[in-house]
Amino acid sequence: MFTVDLRSDTVTRPSDAMKKAMIESPVGDDVLGDDPTVKHLESLMAERFGMDGSLFCVSGTQANQIALMSHLSPGDEVICHPYAHIYNYEGGGIAANAHASVSFTGDDRGIIHPEGVLSCLKADDIHFPKSRVLAVENTSNKGGGTCYEWEEIEALRAVASKNGLLFHLDGARLYNALIAKNHSESDYGAAFDSISICLSKGLGAPVGSILLGNEAFIAHAKRIRKRIGGGWRQAGFLAGAALYAMEHNVERLAEDHAAASDMAAFLQSLPYIDTVISPETNVLIFGLNEDLNQDQFIAGLAEKGIGISQMGPGKCRMVFHLDITEAHINKVKSVLKSI
């Protein structure tokens, strides 16, 4: 186990206060609709985003896949970024679960632009798949935690509406974007047909994601969740952790963003660092000089108790989160300076 784990913000662990909230949460059989804490979480999230309802899911992958299965018919097409989590990191679920194809567009920051969406649209011809869903990711993981500007979201919403596309948001780290850009939950709720939000990354809950949408969508999504084995029993213990996270861990995400920016400035002073992507949120991606072996670099840090991850040839990633302290950051700087 790493003493300083920067591989991802998924490694966060419940605090003692969160554990207490979990233990004290009233529970029931959620498949039967009897869990009051799950109901509270789902109604709270729907209210915050101004949407009809929400569904508590085991993971972001499950939430995204349920959304795509709800929106798509076999042979339809999803327009997304080539960096998209729904394409790269969900086990081929677009093909395996939704039986759909993919068309790619976007820049090297992980951001999709309206003109790119228009270039992906297919003519109404039996030879082609039907362009059905436009899916964006905010923040962009592979893009380095980059955020959409609100004007960009509005422009994409307009293109989606004009061309009959359902608009899905993979908002695994949406709250990082909301804090960084000072955007509102209700604006996002009005812009998208469906939104997934991970509760177990920077927000610090141990398990769970929320899927938001209108009443008909959530009813269909609940049926799909059951079909793929996602029905919960006494899930209130986990929903209790999520409620604690929403009350206590949202505003503090700014601390993680500041830590990432501080580390980025430090990395730029090191002679063996080639490039540093200026972080907008809590994800920091940097490149190594060609004469430094990436695998050996990561393994060397691991030997000293520091975990980071690989983001392709020569690129490394650090993700800052609530379990990282100032002492941890100082240790990382000391080790990096000694290389």
* 203-242: pLDDT as tens digits: 999 999 999 999 999 999 999 999 999 999 999 999 999 9
**pLDDT of the residue at 1:** 76
Q: Using alpha carbons only, what angle is made at residue 278 by residues 84 and 258, rounded to the nearest 5 degrees?
A: 100
Enter the tokens of residue 136.
């964006």
- The CATH class, in words, for 4-10+251-338 is alpha beta
Residue type for position 319: V
What are the tens digits of pLDDT across the range 38-60?
Answer: 999 999 999 999 999 999 999 99
Segment 12-37 mean pLDDT: 98
What are the tokens at 110? 């992980």
pLDDT at position 103, please? 99
User: Per residue in 75-111, pLDDT tens?
Assistant: 999 999 999 999 999 999 999 999 999 999 999 999 9
pLDDT, average across residues 148-172: 99
pLDDT at residue 17, rounded to an integer: 98
Nearest CA among 49, 91, 76 for reference residue 130: 76
Collect all residues with Cβ–Cβ distance below 8 Å to 138 and sequence separation of at least 6: 147, 148, 153, 169, 170, 171, 173, 174, 177
Give bridge partners of residue 275 from the DSSP assignment. Answer: 287
> Given this model, what pLDDT does residue 2 score?
87
Cβ–Cβ < 8 Å for 47, 252: no
Q: If you ran DSSP here, which 8-state letter would residue 48 be given?
A: H
Q: Are 70 and 78 in contact (CB under 8 A)?
A: no
**Residues contacting 96, CB < 8 A, separation 6+:** none
What are the pLDDT digits (tens) for 110-145? 999 999 999 999 999 999 999 999 999 999 999 999
Confidence at 333, pLDDT banded by 50, 70, 90: very high
What are the residue boundaries of the structural domains of the chain, listed by start?
A: 4-10+251-338, 14-248
CA distances in angstroms from 15 to 197, 224, 273, 315, listed in the order given: 21, 33, 35, 32
Q: In whole angstroms, give the CA distance from residue 85 to residue 91.
A: 10
pTM metric for this prediction: 0.97
Burial 217-243 (b: 16+ CB within 10 A, else e): bbebbbebbeeeebebebbbbbbbbbb
- The single-letter DSSP state of residue 10 is G
Q: pLDDT tens, 272-323?
A: 999 999 999 999 999 999 999 999 999 999 999 999 999 989 899 999 999 9
> Domain 14-248, CATH 1.10.1040.10 — does that match?
no
